[in-house]
């Protein structure tokens, strides 16, 4: 395909020379082509699904003739299949309502529908992007609806299965290591004994709770602004339009969208998106804890903690032979930092609603959808390429327990806190174990020590 380049101070962005989009999109490209970032396919395809529903419902209501309605539906199907992904060329950083992307969609669908009807690319006749494709709609209700639909679909299709996969992997390791004693750690210092299985069970529970947190957002994401049009009054939209489109969306996605309880709130506010982003960010925080714990426990292998071994995926160093780095945990940590940054941007954007409209919706869409995708990918890779291949170093785990000074905690009921602390200090100064000091001082018999420890 031939391309022309739109240049500015930030660089270049390639767009198709023979485009399906029209003049409004072209102006948007020329005005906003300064980052090269575009809204992801999941958003574009969800927007096309809404447009398909609109064409079906407007046809049923007698507002759109059968022939153009059918052509628009077919064009929508092609967009949803990814056929025209290269035609959605508007920068993320555009008008805050997302009108530029919305008109990009309207124009692509109109042009393709006209091509289907006439054999020629026509941008306005017989199907018009505003009069027909956009019938009963506004950017102000369609763009937030597309954001809710795409976010819920991506969570349902990618994030939840990835988290469930990770949770299963961690639970399996918890059961596998259930009988292996090791030293617990608090404040990066030795603490009382536990099992390696206990440690992995905590991580599994983190993921389980993360799933619950994400699912808890669904009732708010379910509310769609469709039918509110410009400010929530529903001007120029048929009273049965929104319910009809939402019914079709539910049929096509298997989800449970509803019309917003208050159309004015649904058009003006993006609180549900802020909430969803925060839930995903909380999951990312959990993944950070898990990834950090894994790389610490695997540190060494001889001069670190070394209680577990992780899979060696690639040479760890360009200069040190035999070095194994925790590449997957480190990749996960970088992804979670990005998710946290995205969430901060979404929160700031959520504050940018004035009166009847939020004016940072494209930014919110880009960041939330990227966060969902990153978190899902991080969970999948952590489960499949790291957790599943972890092996325990039993000798190190049990050896650390035997020499731990924190075993003195078990003496408190028998000897009291002060006496137990003195035993720990003596053991530390002499380089001996707690058991050795107790035996030397005749404080406990050997069989008592074995039973206690």
Segment holding 195, helix H or strand E: strand 189-195
The phi, psi pair for 319, rounded to 5°, reads -125, -25
Catalytic residue status for 317: yes
3-state SS assignment for residue 183: strand
Residue 6 bridge partners (DSSP): 13
| 53: nearest Cα among 276, 250, 303 | 250
Which single residue is written with the structure tokens 């206990």? 198
The residues, any chain, with a CB within 8 Å of residue 26's CB and separated by 6 or more, are 19
Distance CA 133, CA 142 (A): 12
Considering only the C-alpha atoms of the chain, give the largest distance between any 2 of them, rounded to a whole number of Å: 100
Active-site option among 46, 97, 317, 428: 317
Counts for the chain of helices (H) and strands (E), in that order:
18, 10
Catalytic residue status for 100: no
DSSP summary character for residue 386:
T
Contact (CB, 8 A) for 189 and 219 = no
How do 258-259 and 223-224 pair as beta strands? parallel
Distance CA 151, CA 138 (A): 20
Active-site option among 100, 187, 201, 277: 187
Distance CA 197, CA 430 (A): 32
DSSP summary character for residue 387:
G
Active site residues: 187, 317
């Amino acid at each position: 395909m031939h391309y022309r380049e739109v240049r500015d101070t930030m660089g270049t962005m390639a767009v198709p020379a023979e485009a399906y989009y029209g003049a409004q999109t072209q102006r948007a490209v020329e005005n906003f082509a300064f980052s090269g970032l575009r809204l992801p396919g999941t958003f574009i395809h969800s927007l096309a699904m809404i447009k398909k529903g609109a064409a079906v419902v407007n046809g049923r209501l007698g507002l759109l003739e059968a022939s153009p309605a059918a052509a628009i539906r077919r064009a929508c199907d092609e967009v949803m299949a990814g056929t025209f992904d290269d035609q959605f060329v508007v920068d993320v950083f555009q008008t805050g309502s997302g009108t530029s992307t919305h008109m990009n969609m309207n124009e692509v669908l109109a042009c393709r529908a006209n091509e289907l009807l006439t054999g020629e690319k026509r941008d306005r006749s017989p199907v018009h992007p505003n009069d027909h494709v956009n019938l009963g709609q506004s950017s102000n209700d369609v763009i937030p609806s597309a954001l809710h639909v795409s976010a819920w679909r991506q969570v349902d299709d990618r994030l939840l299965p990835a988290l469930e996969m990770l949770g299963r992997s961690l639970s399996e390791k918890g059961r596998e290591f259930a009988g292996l004693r090791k030293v617990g750690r608090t404040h990066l210092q030795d603490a009382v004994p536990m099992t390696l299985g206990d440690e992995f069970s905590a991580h599994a529970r983190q993921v389980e709770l993360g799933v619950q947190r994400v699912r808890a957002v669904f009732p708010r994401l379910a509310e769609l602004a469709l039918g509110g049009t410009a400010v929530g009054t529903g001007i120029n939209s048929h009273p049965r339009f929104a319910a009809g489109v939402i019914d079709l969306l539910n049929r096509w996605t298997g989800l449970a969208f509803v019309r917003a309880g208050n159309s004015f709130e649904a058009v003006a506010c993006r609180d549900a998106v802020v909430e969803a982003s925060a839930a995903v960010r909380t999951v990312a925080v959990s993944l950070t804890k898990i990834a950090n714990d894994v790389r610490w426990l695997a540190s060494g292998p001889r001069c670190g903690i070394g209680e577990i071994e992780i899979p060696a995926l690639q040479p760890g160093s360009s200069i040190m032979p035999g070095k194994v780095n925790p590449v997957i945990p480190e990749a996960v940590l970088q992804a979670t930092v990005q998710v946290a940054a995205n969430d901060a941007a979404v929160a700031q954007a959520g504050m940018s609603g004035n009166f009847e409209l939020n004016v940072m919706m494209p930014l919110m869409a880009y960041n939330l959808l990227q966060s969902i995708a990153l978190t899902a990918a991080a969970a999948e890779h952590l489960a499949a390429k790291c957790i599943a291949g972890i092996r325990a170093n039993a000798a190190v785990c049990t050896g650390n327990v035997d020499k731990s000074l924190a075993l003195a905690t078990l003496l408190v009921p028998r000897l009291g806190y002060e006496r137990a602390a003195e035993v720990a200090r003596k053991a530390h100064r002499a380089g001996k174990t707690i058991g050795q000091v107790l035996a030397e001082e005749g404080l406990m018999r050997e069989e008592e020590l074995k039973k206690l420890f």
